[in-house]
Structure formats: structure tokens, C-alpha cells
Amino acid sequence: MVILITGISSGFGCAMAQQLAADGHTVYGTVRRDVEQLPGVHYLRADVRDTTAVQAAVDAVVSVEGRIDVLVNNAGMGIGGPVEFAPEADVQLQMDTNFMGQVRFTQAVLPVMRRQGGGKILCFSSIGGLMGLPFQGFYSASKFAIEGFCEALQIEVRRHGIQVILIEPGDFATGFTAARIKQVSDEAAAAYPSLRQSVHSFEKDEQTGLKPAYLARKVAKIIRKKHPKFRYVIATFIQKLSIPLKRILPARLFVKVLSLFYSVK
């Protein structure tokens, strides 16, 4: 299969590119800067925030391969801190990268998949797309947007044989943690006394989380499935448990549980 992955410079993207190339697929991946290249992977320079660059990347793959069987919308970033103190520019960056980046690549790939009579589009959401995470409100908002986008998209494109799949990871040890843009100033910490402890708590969980190679193997299996599910939560047992808990617990009680888990007082 011909597979296009966004954001393969590190983390999930790099692990998936390596795994899928090893499995014998033809793998293309986008990067924003020069990186050490994996053997057997074709690199494309594109920023998901640049519509022209996105279209050029898709056209480059099609010009060589004639098709794109799988799009993996992986590229993303995160901001952290209280909603009150998030600069508008950071919020726009969050939404433009995580949500609009997936929209741009999906819109560019859909005509290709319609012409060829099918394909798979994997969109990376998060556990944070299923529940609002404290001090990651705008990250959650970007992932909630992806959830709604994909719920609608799967219905629209199924007549064309195109499958839409949501990937919802929990905590993983990647460079995402160090790259997060955080607002933890003295002013913010004074207004929200548990801010720094909460950020330390969820970043520690990420740093000691599952390894990207584990997710890459899961994604490789999903891509091989003829009839994949719409949603796949890839996380620890405790994090998976939080999803049914949100459905069955009274809202007020679930908020208390989530506050305790994220050290918010």
C-alpha cells in the first residue's frame, strides 16, 4: 500500500513510518525541517498549516505512485496552562496545527481516494478528545474538533469506499512533552495554585508512558484490517477505564475523579 503520514520527524510519526516501511509498504512522510532519514521512507517537506505545501505533498506522491491508499493524519502539537492565560496566538497555533492541519490533508487526499474507489484515513485524536483535560483545555478542544469532524466524515465518504478511523492514544513517552508550549508564570500559578503540580503530574505520566513503537505496531495491524473499527483507544488499562467511567458516573463525580487524577485542587 501507498501510505502518507504527516509529521514523521519524531514520536508517533517516526515510529509508524519505520514500522510500516519494514512491513513492506511504500511510505511517504512529511517533515518541516531536515532530519535524519529512515531507510525506505520517502520524505516530503510540508507544514500542515500551509495549504499550498499540503497540496504539493499530496500531488508529489500521486505523481510518482498514482494513488494514496492510506492517509495518517498524525502531525500535532500541544499547549498547556490555564485557559485564562493562553495567548490568542498560541490558541490559534493549536487549532491550526491539530485540527486544520488534518482538514487540509484530508481535503487534499479525498479527490484522489474517490477516483481510485477507496482508501483509509486515520486521524489522530486523543484521550483528551473524549474528555476535557485540566490545564490542557485548548489541546482537548482541538481533539474534540477532530472527533466531530471524523464522525461526520465517515458518513459522507463511505459511499466512495473510504474508511475513516480515529486513533485515540493515552500517555506515551515522546518528544511531545518537551515541545509543549506552557503558560506556568507566577501570575498564572498564583491564580491557580495547583497549576504547576498538575502540569508536573501529567507530564510525568507522559514521560513514563507507553512507547511509540507499541502504537506503531497497533496502527500497522489496523491498516491491514479489511473492516477496521471507527475508534481505537491505544492506552493503558487505567486510561481506557476512564472512558466508560465518564459515561456511567454522574458528571459531578467524574469531575472529582478527573481532578484527583490530575492533581487539581
- Give, in order, the Cα–Cα distances in Å from 106 to each of 101, 230, 255: 9, 16, 34
- N residues, the chain: 265
Q: Which of 143, 192, 198, 262 is catalytic?
A: 143
Q: Which of 120, 125, 126, 192 is catalytic?
A: 125
Beta bridge partners of 168: 233
Q: Which of 28, 120, 126, 139 is catalytic?
A: 139
> Nine-digit cell at 241?
477505564
Does residue 9 have an active-site annotation?
A: yes
Matching residue, cell 506522491 = 61
Task: Give the span between the Cα atoms of 232 and 169, in whole angstroms.
Answer: 8
Classify residue 97 by its DSSP letter.
Answer: I
CB contact at 8 A, 2 and 26: yes
Task: Give the span between the Cα atoms of 167 and 170, in whole angstroms.
Answer: 10
Sequence-distant (≥ 6) Cβ neighbours of residue 162 within 8 angstroms: 110, 113, 114, 118, 119, 120, 121
Could you tell me where the DSSP H helices lie in the chain? Answer: 11-22, 51-65, 88-95, 101-116, 137-157, 176-179, 186-191, 195-207, 212-224, 237-248, 251-261
Does residue 143 have an active-site annotation?
A: yes
Does residue 194 have an active-site annotation?
A: no
List the catalytic residues: 9, 125, 139, 143
